[in-house]
Chains A and B, each alone.
Chain A
């Protein structure tokens, strides 16, 4: 478990120049892998679409135009229009914005909980560790989508509630990994040395342990975004998350259900968008895992939201 910690902690006397060029080489090697390069391309496209959507020359994604409803693709509407005459292309692009926002909020929320629980557990040890990991084991045994569904059911439908629900259930596995890495880092000699030099707990955690956790966290986060996107869009598809007329991919799929026979593209397009986004993050995550840390990722992959 402590492999990452040992590697970066044990090799102190590397000159900064050599270290810099080596790490740059590793990043270039990452891009030589065609899968990772494709992943990066997809993720960057998604980011660009999401960030730039309001400034792109697109139709208003929520503007209803009933006479123009269910139009097939044309030069005016390159992906056609939906059952309310809204431009599908514009809605798919704006959907990237919602997806990124949802993924970022969920990730931030779940990582905050996971870091707190994991570092506390790994650093403090003892009864606190047993208690926290008991809770983690309990929650790990439970399918996370069903847990999120229960939380969303308690709070009532709405995108904000779904994000809360996803964040509240999604930290569990990560807390375990972070605990393991913290535990490994805590036993390093430089931590003992820092303590001997009079450093307090907070300083040790922030200055000496946190940097070791960074690698695994980047890997977890990048591998996770795909699952989060699938889960949030799934909850929105079920009607619990984003509500119409919000241009969100899961909600778009839900909206298009009655038009399965007449306009299947209304279902397939948001579905394809979700697929490409998830594929992109999964490919990028795989590449980053191979690059940053081959050992600290949980065995058997992430327990999926879906």
Chain B
């Protein structure tokens, strides 16, 4: 376990370097001169002159060769300076930091909601396989996976905010304002998790040791919850990384709709205005978060499943 953890922790910075270099190259190889984009952002009324563009290139440090720019960017990022937004001229690191809490709140609420529904329903669905509960749950999962979060969000706003006036439609700050965005965000991962837990519970319930437990005369409750559940939950833990991906991707859209002041909203604005320092900072930041959460999930999986700790070949 110790050696495994060390190996993972060593590869982590290498992965980060890879991702940041890739996004850096992508942004700089893309068509269009950032200096010109900046000037047009700041003054859309007139086309910038050649001299202005050259001056801006020097101001932004774009006159240096690309590898030099990248090394400079990395060394500054390590010191906590990720450059300044082309559009707002605010420090990128500060913007990322101030928008982390709202996104963390939203994704945590959505994940909690997804787990709260998916785990019991998935278990029940597997235990009553083929019954009416199972049929309804599977249908719901099918529908849930196909509903676009953006359409669902507007459906929720129309129903609960416009027609019924039960909940606020937009904004950030109160507990009531979390409900609609968290639900809109949680439906897709909820459906996916439910299917996953149902499938893995069914597989576990078919194992020999479950038959043994039943043959011993244990109550069905005990068999399901003491013997089957632990193993059935393993794939759900393993899928944490994928689910985080769902949630962060979904947050980009849901935050935009509900004017939630999180990272997703920042990224959409930056992508629309081609605000490269923000895009670069965001991508690197998300990479850090995703890689760390994946690592945490793998470690948790190893703690929950002793078999993994003894298999050496698996990374």
Contact = CB atoms under 8 A, between A and B. Distances in A.
Interface of A: 35, 138, 141-147, 149-157, 226, 230, 233-234, 237-240, 250, 253, 257, 260-261, 264, 267-268, 270-272, 274-275, 278-279, 282-283, 299-301, 303-306
Contact of B245 (A151, A253, A303): A303
Interface residues of B, number: 58
B271 A141 contact: no
A150 B158 contact: no
B27 to A, nearest CB: 5
Given A153-B271, A306-B149, A279 B142 contact: yes
Contacts of A230: 148
A260 B157 contact: yes
B248 interface: yes
A278 B242 CA distance: 20
Nearest to A154: B30
A142 B158 contact: no
A271 B155 CA distance: 9
Given A152-B271, A154-B26, A154-B27, A304 B279 contact: no
B148 A234 contact: yes
A234 B253 contact: yes
A119 to B, nearest CB: 23
A306 B148 contact: yes
Interface string B149-180: 11110110110001000000000000000000
17 contacts: A138-B18, A141-B15, A141-B294, A142-B19, A150-B279, A153-B279, A230-B148, A233-B148, A257-B154, A260-B158, A275-B151, A300-B192, A300-B235, A301-B195, A306-B188, A306-B249, A306-B250
Given A238-B252, A304-B249, A271 B235 contact: no
A274 to B, nearest CB: 5
B290 A143 contact: yes
A149 B154 contact: no
Contacts of A274: 148, 151
Given A141-B291, A275-B151, A304-B188, 4 more contacts: A233-B148, A239-B268, A275-B146, A305-B249
Consensus secondary structure, chain A interface: helix
Contact of A271 (B26, B150, B286): B150
Nearest to B275: A153
Contacts of B192: 300-301, 304
Nearest to B278: A153
Contact of B148 (A138, A156, A261, A275): A275
Nearest to B16: A138
- Which of B19, B154, B279 gathers most chain A CB within 10 Å? B154
B132 interface: no
Interface in B280-307: 282-283, 286-287, 290-291, 294
Contacts of A299: 235
A143 B151 contact: no
Contacts of A257: 154
A278 B148 contact: yes
- The 5 A-B pairs at the shortest CB distance, nearest first, are namely A271-B151, A153-B271, A145-B249, A143-B245, A154-B30
